Amino acid sequence: MQVKGPILFIFFLLLCRQASAQDAEKLPVQKMQLWQAFAQGTARGELRYFFMATNNSGPLSDYYANAVGGYLRYETALFHHLQAAAGGSFTYNIGSSDLSKSDPVTGQSNRYETGLFDLQDPANKYNMYRLEELYLRYVFKAGSVTWGKQILNTPFINTRGTRMRPTVEDGVYGKLNIKKLSFEGGWLYGISPRSTMRWYSVPSSIGIYSTGLNPDGTKSGYKNNLESAGIGLLGITERSETDRIEIWDQYVAHIFNTLMGRIYSERPLDEKNNKLLLGFMCLVQHPANNGGNDIPDKAYFPPGTGSLAFSGRLGWKDKHWEASANYTRITKTGRFLMPREWGREPFFTAVQRERNEGFGDVHAFVLKAAYRALNEHLQAELSWGRNLLPDVKNYVLNKYGLPSYDQVNANIKYTWGGALKGLESELLLVYKQKQGNTYGDYKYVFDKVDMGQVNLMISYLF
């Protein structure tokens, strides 16, 4: 009975393929009947295997995990400007460490491997199914409006690809293009974070991951204690041949607001495709109303706090290579806060397997070098970063007790062609070494620093 889910997914795909084959010719939208919109719809999916292993230092526990799963979605053809889609995923644990057991030295739970499955039920190996898309979309010449469960990719709420499945959202979201300007935004009232199998309201989705500490050093109490009607998002982008300028605002009702401006620039240096890469962003945050709760210890963004951050890059690229030096400064004003359940932070220094969310008074330096083959089948990237953070006992500016550290990431991705078209393989190697004081306490080390990690991902897209 454990294979029932995948069999139903495959059976659904075959039905969709057969329906599409019955009527290959596309009719004009105005003449199309409803059944033809379904018959001419498209189905696509993904099968995915993920191996992850983390090696911690000294007496700390090591972990490994093997996950396999898939995703399938169906989208109708346009019918009088309307389009509908549905999609879902399944995941199996096919051989892993006991992820429900805490590390005996620190008493802390596994941080990485559980993220391949269900954080809310680490012992669950088989019953991991999730409805991820179920929406109705209205399409017009200059854009679209989508209502329902959907997958978004914004600076604050995004997919973050190095897990089995991404974070997905429920709400109303629109896009509009007018010449060189594009607008997007909407109102979200539901979130299903990656590494979970359920849907949550916006306030209840904050705190599923580690909640860290309050500024006074006590455990944060905002989990299941926040009030919010939802998230308002607005993004405006202007594009030219060399530049892209973005302004984004995210308002989380009754909790906090984030305003960001960002500039990307690629300037030609000569006629041989050499380009100068420039980038700069500024981000400002402040609480909204009571920060989510009238009791400060249970608020996500306590009143009277805020954050200010800057990030930039300077680089070069040609047909094959890209190199950049990146820097982020989060000032002493306060902690930069962005629910980790919702996505990865938008800084130029962001790399896989760590972030600067939850910290203030940060200096982050990252050097990146990437290679892409001319046929684009092979991609490789190497990065080194140094993150200078407040002392682990400076709770006002260090939410998660993470010491300063160096991090090296090596990533190789190969996209297959020919008879294996649709197959992608990726290897990510990570090493993190502490630079700050941990006071001989392993709770500041376990699954944080002085660790190495191997990630192997194999996906087949169809």
Q: What pLDDT does residue 104 have?
A: 97
Residue 22 pLDDT level (bands cut at 50, 70, 90): very low
Q: What pLDDT does residue 119 have?
A: 94
CA 285 to chain centre: 20
Question: Which of 431 and 21 is assigned the larger pLDDT?
Answer: 431
Tell whether the model's pLDDT for residue 161 goes beyond 80.
no
Tell whether the model's pLDDT for residue 73 goes beyond 50.
yes
> Token pair for residue 357?
């969310």
The span from the CA of 426 to the CA of 234, in Å, is: 33
Tell whether the model's pLDDT for residue 18 goes beyond 90.
no
- Mean pLDDT of the region 281-288: 98
Q: What pLDDT does residue 376 have?
A: 86
Tell whether the model's pLDDT for residue 389 goes beyond 80.
yes
Note whether 273 and 267 are within 8 A (CB). Answer: no
The dihedral sign for the CA sequence 317, 452, 111, 65: positive
What is the count of structural domains for the chain?
Answer: 1
Tell whether the model's pLDDT for residue 7 goes beyond 60.
no
Lowest mean pLDDT among 7-11, 61-65, 153-157, 166-170: 7-11
Tell whether the model's pLDDT for residue 255 goes beyond 90.
yes
Tell whether the model's pLDDT for residue 13 goes beyond 70.
no
- Mean pLDDT of the region 338-350: 96
> Token pair for residue 404?
């300063």
| 196 CB-contact burial (10 Å; exposed 0-12 / middle 13-18 / buried 19+) | buried
> Token pair for residue 142?
């200059």
- Mean pLDDT of the region 113-120: 96
pLDDT tens per residue, range 224-245:
999 999 999 999 999 999 999 9
- Mean pLDDT of the region 151-164: 91
The span from the CA of 277 to the CA of 119, in Å, is: 39
Secondary structure tally for the chain: helices H, strands E: 3, 19
The dihedral sign for the CA sequence 392, 398, 402, 407: negative
Of 173, 194, 50, 178, which Cα lies nearest the Cα of 115? 194
Q: pLDDT over 70 for what percent of the chain?
A: 93
Tell whether the model's pLDDT for residue 259 goes beyond 50.
yes
Tell whether the model's pLDDT for residue 10 goes beyond 80.
no
| 143 CB-contact burial (10 Å; exposed 0-12 / middle 13-18 / buried 19+) | middle
Which residue reads 């990252």 in tokens? 366
Which phi and psi angles does 168 have, rounded to 5°?
A: -130, 160
Tell whether the model's pLDDT for residue 408 goes beyond 60.
yes
Q: pLDDT over 90 for what percent of the chain?
A: 90
pLDDT tens per residue, range 84-108:
999 999 999 999 999 999 999 999 9
Which residues on adjacent β-strands are paired with residue 73?
44, 87
Q: What pLDDT does residue 26 have?
A: 45
The span from the CA of 461 to the CA of 45, in Å, is: 6
Which residue reads 């089995």 in tokens? 164
pLDDT tens per residue, range 59-71:
999 999 999 999 9
| Containing structural domain, residue 381 | 4-461
SS3 (DSSP) at 291: coil
Taking CA atoms, 111 is separated from 115, 195, 227, in Å, by 7, 11, 27
| 14 CB-contact burial (10 Å; exposed 0-12 / middle 13-18 / buried 19+) | exposed
Residue 30 pLDDT level (bands cut at 50, 70, 90): low
CA 233 to chain centre: 16
Q: What pLDDT does residue 160 have?
A: 75
Tell whether the model's pLDDT for residue 19 goes beyond 50.
no
Q: What pLDDT does residue 374 have?
A: 83
The average confidence (pLDDT) of the chain is 93
Tell whether the model's pLDDT for residue 281 goes beyond 50.
yes
Tell whether the model's pLDDT for residue 57 goes beyond 60.
yes
- Mean pLDDT of the region 51-59: 97
16 membership: H or E segment, kind and range: helix 4-21
Q: What pLDDT does residue 272 have?
A: 84
Which phi and psi angles does 331 have, rounded to 5°?
A: -75, 175
Q: What pLDDT does residue 261 have?
A: 98
Please list the alpha-helical segments (H only) found in 123-274.
202-205
Which residues on adjacent β-strands are paired with residue 381?
370, 411
**At 79, which CATH number?**
2.40.160.10
> Token pair for residue 322?
């890209």
